[in-house]
Structure 1
Amino acid sequence: MSYEEWFEQHAQKHLKIVEKLVAKGFTQEQIIDYFTYENMAKEEIDFCPLYKEGKKCHNMQELNCYLCGCPNFRFDDNGLGIYNGMKILSRCDIHNGSTIGYGGAVHQDCSKCTVPHHKAYINKNFNLDWKKMMKGCKIPS
Protein backbone atom coordinates (compact mmCIF):
# COMPACT_ATOMS: atom_id res chain seq x y z
CA MET A 1 0.00 0.00 0.00
CA SER A 2 1.34 3.44 -0.87
CA TYR A 3 1.65 6.25 1.66
CA GLU A 4 -1.11 8.13 -0.17
CA GLU A 5 -3.49 5.16 0.05
CA TRP A 6 -2.76 4.64 3.75
CA PHE A 7 -3.21 8.35 4.44
CA GLU A 8 -6.64 8.50 2.79
CA GLN A 9 -7.87 5.24 4.33
CA HIS A 10 -6.69 6.24 7.78
CA ALA A 11 -8.31 9.66 7.51
CA GLN A 12 -11.65 7.97 6.84
CA LYS A 13 -11.30 5.58 9.79
CA HIS A 14 -10.35 8.47 12.08
CA LEU A 15 -13.26 10.61 10.84
CA LYS A 16 -15.79 7.84 11.43
CA ILE A 17 -14.70 7.45 15.06
CA VAL A 18 -14.55 11.20 15.73
CA GLU A 19 -18.01 11.76 14.21
CA LYS A 20 -19.40 9.02 16.47
CA LEU A 21 -17.85 10.63 19.56
CA VAL A 22 -18.98 14.15 18.63
CA ALA A 23 -22.54 12.84 18.11
CA LYS A 24 -22.38 11.47 21.67
CA GLY A 25 -21.38 14.93 22.94
CA PHE A 26 -17.78 14.08 23.84
CA THR A 27 -15.53 17.02 24.75
CA GLN A 28 -12.03 17.43 23.31
CA GLU A 29 -10.56 15.84 26.44
CA GLN A 30 -12.96 12.89 26.26
CA ILE A 31 -12.18 12.37 22.58
CA ILE A 32 -8.44 12.34 23.24
CA ASP A 33 -8.92 9.97 26.18
CA TYR A 34 -11.01 7.66 24.00
CA PHE A 35 -7.99 7.26 21.71
CA THR A 36 -5.78 5.71 24.41
CA TYR A 37 -4.22 2.48 23.20
CA GLU A 38 -6.01 0.34 25.79
CA ASN A 39 -9.44 1.70 24.88
CA MET A 40 -8.89 1.67 21.12
CA ALA A 41 -7.60 -1.91 21.17
CA LYS A 42 -10.84 -2.89 22.90
CA GLU A 43 -13.40 -0.61 21.20
CA GLU A 44 -11.94 0.02 17.71
CA ILE A 45 -10.01 -3.15 16.88
CA ASP A 46 -10.02 -2.42 13.12
CA PHE A 47 -8.37 0.99 13.54
CA CYS A 48 -4.89 -0.55 13.70
CA PRO A 49 -3.67 -4.02 12.68
CA LEU A 50 -1.47 -4.14 15.80
CA TYR A 51 -4.52 -4.08 18.08
CA LYS A 52 -5.45 -7.61 17.03
CA GLU A 53 -1.95 -8.77 17.99
CA GLY A 54 -1.99 -6.94 21.34
CA LYS A 55 1.07 -4.95 20.28
CA LYS A 56 1.94 -1.28 20.51
CA CYS A 57 3.68 0.60 17.72
CA HIS A 58 5.78 2.50 20.27
CA ASN A 59 7.17 1.29 23.58
CA MET A 60 5.52 3.78 25.93
CA GLN A 61 3.20 3.38 28.88
CA GLU A 62 0.57 5.99 27.96
CA LEU A 63 0.29 5.61 24.19
CA ASN A 64 -2.43 7.72 22.60
CA CYS A 65 -3.48 6.90 19.04
CA TYR A 66 -5.25 10.16 18.12
CA LEU A 67 -2.28 11.26 16.03
CA CYS A 68 -1.52 7.90 14.49
CA GLY A 69 0.55 9.17 11.68
CA CYS A 70 2.50 12.25 12.71
CA PRO A 71 2.17 15.90 11.65
CA ASN A 72 5.98 15.92 11.31
CA PHE A 73 6.02 13.03 8.82
CA ARG A 74 6.55 13.99 5.18
CA PHE A 75 5.97 11.74 2.20
CA ASP A 76 5.66 11.64 -1.56
CA ASP A 77 5.04 8.33 -3.29
CA ASN A 78 6.90 9.74 -6.31
CA GLY A 79 9.95 10.49 -4.20
CA LEU A 80 11.51 13.29 -2.19
CA GLY A 81 14.98 12.77 -3.58
CA ILE A 82 17.64 10.11 -3.97
CA TYR A 83 19.98 8.65 -1.36
CA ASN A 84 22.60 6.04 -2.30
CA GLY A 85 20.75 5.40 -5.52
CA MET A 86 17.41 4.77 -3.76
CA LYS A 87 14.32 6.93 -3.93
CA ILE A 88 13.48 8.65 -0.63
CA LEU A 89 9.74 8.22 -0.03
CA SER A 90 9.42 9.68 3.47
CA ARG A 91 11.26 11.76 6.05
CA CYS A 92 10.78 13.50 9.39
CA ASP A 93 10.41 17.28 9.40
CA ILE A 94 11.90 17.56 12.91
CA HIS A 95 14.74 15.15 12.09
CA ASN A 96 13.75 12.62 14.74
CA GLY A 97 14.21 8.89 14.36
CA SER A 98 16.18 7.28 11.57
CA THR A 99 15.70 5.95 8.07
CA ILE A 100 15.54 2.43 6.70
CA GLY A 101 15.95 0.99 3.25
CA TYR A 102 13.03 -1.23 2.30
CA GLY A 103 11.65 -2.34 -1.05
CA GLY A 104 14.37 -0.46 -2.91
CA ALA A 105 13.44 2.86 -1.27
CA VAL A 106 14.34 4.91 1.80
CA HIS A 107 11.63 5.32 4.46
CA GLN A 108 11.44 7.23 7.73
CA ASP A 109 11.62 4.90 10.74
CA CYS A 110 9.43 6.42 13.44
CA SER A 111 9.42 3.39 15.74
CA LYS A 112 11.57 5.03 18.44
CA CYS A 113 9.80 8.41 18.33
CA THR A 114 6.88 9.01 20.69
CA VAL A 115 6.32 12.74 20.00
CA PRO A 116 2.78 12.57 18.52
CA HIS A 117 1.49 10.03 21.04
CA HIS A 118 1.59 12.21 24.16
CA LYS A 119 -1.60 13.94 25.31
CA ALA A 120 0.14 17.32 25.65
CA TYR A 121 1.28 17.21 22.01
CA ILE A 122 -2.18 16.11 20.85
CA ASN A 123 -3.83 18.93 22.81
CA LYS A 124 -1.42 21.45 21.30
CA ASN A 125 -2.18 20.26 17.75
CA PHE A 126 -5.80 19.16 18.23
CA ASN A 127 -8.35 19.39 15.47
CA LEU A 128 -11.39 17.19 14.94
CA ASP A 129 -10.29 16.92 11.31
CA TRP A 130 -7.24 14.61 11.22
CA LYS A 131 -6.38 15.75 7.68
CA LYS A 132 -6.10 19.36 8.85
CA MET A 133 -3.62 18.31 11.56
CA MET A 134 -1.71 16.32 8.94
CA LYS A 135 -1.88 18.93 6.15
CA GLY A 136 1.90 19.24 5.87
CA CYS A 137 2.51 15.52 5.45
CA LYS A 138 1.79 15.11 1.75
CA ILE A 139 4.50 16.80 -0.27
CA PRO A 140 3.18 17.65 -3.74
CA SER A 141 5.21 16.16 -6.59
Structure 2
Amino acid sequence: MTYKEWFLQHAKKHQNILKKLEDKTPSDILEYFKFENMVKNEQDFCLLYKENKKCHNIDDLNCYLCACPYFRFNDLGIKEENNKTLYSFCSINSKKGSIFEVENNIHQDCSNCVIPHKRNFIKKNFDRYWLNIMKNVEI
Protein backbone atom coordinates (compact mmCIF):
# COMPACT_ATOMS: atom_id res chain seq x y z
CA MET A 1 0.00 0.00 0.00
CA THR A 2 1.31 3.44 -0.86
CA TYR A 3 1.45 6.36 1.56
CA LYS A 4 -1.33 8.07 -0.38
CA GLU A 5 -3.61 5.02 -0.38
CA TRP A 6 -3.19 4.64 3.38
CA PHE A 7 -3.69 8.36 3.95
CA LEU A 8 -6.94 8.51 1.95
CA GLN A 9 -8.31 5.34 3.56
CA HIS A 10 -7.46 6.71 6.98
CA ALA A 11 -9.16 10.02 6.19
CA LYS A 12 -12.39 8.13 5.38
CA LYS A 13 -12.20 6.13 8.63
CA HIS A 14 -11.62 9.33 10.57
CA GLN A 15 -14.56 11.05 8.86
CA ASN A 16 -16.88 8.13 9.63
CA ILE A 17 -16.02 8.27 13.32
CA LEU A 18 -16.57 12.04 13.40
CA LYS A 19 -20.03 11.57 11.86
CA LYS A 20 -20.94 9.50 14.92
CA LEU A 21 -19.63 12.29 17.16
CA GLU A 22 -21.31 15.26 15.44
CA ASP A 23 -23.02 16.44 18.60
CA LYS A 24 -19.88 16.16 20.76
CA THR A 25 -17.58 18.97 21.88
CA PRO A 26 -13.91 18.99 20.85
CA SER A 27 -13.01 17.81 24.38
CA ASP A 28 -15.47 14.91 24.09
CA ILE A 29 -14.01 13.99 20.71
CA LEU A 30 -10.45 13.98 22.07
CA GLU A 31 -11.62 11.83 24.94
CA TYR A 32 -13.19 9.39 22.46
CA PHE A 33 -9.93 9.15 20.50
CA LYS A 34 -7.94 7.93 23.52
CA PHE A 35 -6.18 4.70 22.67
CA GLU A 36 -8.05 2.62 25.24
CA ASN A 37 -11.43 3.73 23.91
CA MET A 38 -10.46 3.34 20.27
CA VAL A 39 -9.24 -0.23 20.83
CA LYS A 40 -12.58 -1.06 22.40
CA ASN A 41 -14.90 0.80 19.99
CA GLU A 42 -13.10 1.30 16.67
CA GLN A 43 -11.22 -1.93 15.91
CA ASP A 44 -10.92 -1.13 12.19
CA PHE A 45 -9.29 2.29 12.67
CA CYS A 46 -5.80 0.86 13.17
CA LEU A 47 -4.22 -2.51 12.43
CA LEU A 48 -2.51 -2.46 15.83
CA TYR A 49 -5.82 -2.28 17.70
CA LYS A 50 -6.55 -5.95 17.00
CA GLU A 51 -3.38 -6.78 18.97
CA ASN A 52 -4.14 -4.15 21.64
CA LYS A 53 -0.75 -2.69 20.72
CA LYS A 54 0.26 0.97 20.72
CA CYS A 55 2.24 2.62 17.94
CA HIS A 56 4.02 4.70 20.62
CA ASN A 57 4.48 3.39 24.13
CA ILE A 58 3.23 6.44 26.04
CA ASP A 59 0.58 7.04 28.66
CA ASP A 60 -2.45 8.94 27.42
CA LEU A 61 -1.88 8.05 23.77
CA ASN A 62 -4.41 9.93 21.68
CA CYS A 63 -5.15 8.69 18.17
CA TYR A 64 -6.92 11.74 16.74
CA LEU A 65 -3.83 12.75 14.73
CA CYS A 66 -2.73 9.26 13.86
CA ALA A 67 -0.89 10.72 10.89
CA CYS A 68 1.30 13.65 11.79
CA PRO A 69 0.71 17.02 10.12
CA TYR A 70 4.51 17.41 9.89
CA PHE A 71 5.02 14.19 7.94
CA ARG A 72 5.66 14.89 4.26
CA PHE A 73 5.52 12.22 1.60
CA ASN A 74 5.36 11.66 -2.11
CA ASP A 75 4.91 8.16 -3.49
CA LEU A 76 6.82 9.12 -6.63
CA GLY A 77 9.77 10.31 -4.57
CA ILE A 78 10.77 13.74 -3.37
CA LYS A 79 14.42 13.88 -4.35
CA GLU A 80 17.54 11.81 -4.84
CA GLU A 81 20.11 11.58 -2.05
CA ASN A 82 23.26 9.48 -2.37
CA ASN A 83 21.76 7.42 -5.20
CA LYS A 84 18.64 6.71 -3.14
CA THR A 85 15.12 8.12 -3.44
CA LEU A 86 13.75 10.08 -0.50
CA TYR A 87 10.02 9.33 -0.13
CA SER A 88 9.19 10.99 3.18
CA PHE A 89 10.56 13.38 5.81
CA CYS A 90 9.63 15.44 8.87
CA SER A 91 8.97 19.09 8.00
CA ILE A 92 10.08 20.25 11.46
CA ASN A 93 13.03 17.87 11.63
CA SER A 94 11.91 16.54 15.03
CA LYS A 95 14.80 15.53 17.28
CA LYS A 96 12.92 12.31 18.03
CA GLY A 97 12.53 11.43 14.36
CA SER A 98 15.03 9.55 12.26
CA ILE A 99 15.28 7.98 8.84
CA PHE A 100 15.47 4.41 7.70
CA GLU A 101 16.90 3.20 4.45
CA VAL A 102 15.89 0.13 2.51
CA GLU A 103 17.66 -0.81 -0.72
CA ASN A 104 17.39 2.39 -2.78
CA ASN A 105 14.75 4.10 -0.61
CA ILE A 106 14.84 6.58 2.28
CA HIS A 107 11.82 7.00 4.57
CA GLN A 108 11.02 9.00 7.70
CA ASP A 109 10.88 6.99 10.91
CA CYS A 110 8.46 8.63 13.34
CA SER A 111 8.32 5.79 15.85
CA ASN A 112 10.14 7.71 18.60
CA CYS A 113 8.24 10.97 18.10
CA VAL A 114 4.99 11.51 20.01
CA ILE A 115 4.16 15.11 19.03
CA PRO A 116 0.84 14.38 17.26
CA HIS A 117 -0.35 12.03 20.00
CA LYS A 118 -0.32 14.52 22.86
CA ARG A 119 -3.65 16.05 23.91
CA ASN A 120 -2.35 19.65 24.06
CA PHE A 121 -0.95 19.48 20.54
CA ILE A 122 -4.18 18.04 19.18
CA LYS A 123 -6.26 20.60 21.07
CA LYS A 124 -4.17 23.43 19.62
CA ASN A 125 -4.54 22.07 16.05
CA PHE A 126 -8.03 20.61 16.34
CA ASP A 127 -10.36 20.62 13.37
CA ARG A 128 -13.38 18.34 12.99
CA TYR A 129 -12.36 17.82 9.40
CA TRP A 130 -9.09 15.92 9.77
CA LEU A 131 -7.91 16.73 6.26
CA ASN A 132 -7.84 20.44 7.12
CA ILE A 133 -5.11 19.69 9.65
CA MET A 134 -3.33 17.39 7.22
CA LYS A 135 -3.57 19.63 4.15
CA ASN A 136 0.21 19.90 3.62
CA VAL A 137 1.33 16.32 4.16
CA GLU A 138 1.67 15.35 0.52
CA ILE A 139 4.15 17.24 -1.59
TM-score range, shorter chain: over 0.9
> Which residue of 2 is the match for residue 81 of structure 1?
79
Aligned residues: 137
In structure 2, distance between residues paired with 1:51 and 1:63? 13
- Correspondence 1:21 to 2:26: no
How far has the Cα of 1:32 moved from its partner? Answer: 0.8
In structure 2, distance between residues paired with 1:66 and 1:123? 10
Gaps of 5+ in 1: none
Gaps of 5+ in 2: none
Two-structure CA RMSD over aligned residues (Å): 0.9
SS in 1 for 2:123: helix
> Which residue of 2 is the match for residue 110 of structure 1?
110
What do residues 33-77 of structure 1 show as CA deviations (whole Å, max 9, x unaligned)? 100000000000110000111110011111000000000000011
SS in 2 for 1:91: strand
Distance change >3 Å, CA 103–CA 41, structure 1 → 2? farther
4+ residue runs of structure 1 moved beyond 2 angstroms?
none
What do residues 59-109 of structure 1 show as CA deviations (whole Å, max 9, x unaligned)? 111100000000000001111111221111100011020000136311100
In structure 1, distance between residues paired with 2:24 and 2:58? 26
> Which residue of 2 is the match for residue 32 of structure 1?
30
Q: Given residue 54 of structure 1, which amino acid in structure 2 is its aligned partner?
A: N
> Which residue of 2 is the match for residue 65 of structure 1?
63
Distance change >3 Å, CA 20–CA 3, structure 1 → 2? same
* Higher mean C-alpha deviation, range 57-66 or range 78-87: 78-87
> Which residue of 2 is the match for residue 11 of structure 1?
11
SS in 1 for 2:108: strand
What do residues 106-140 of structure 1 show as CA deviations (whole Å, max 9, x unaligned)? 1100000000000100011000111110001010x
Normalised to the residue count of structure 2, the TM-score between the two structures is 0.96
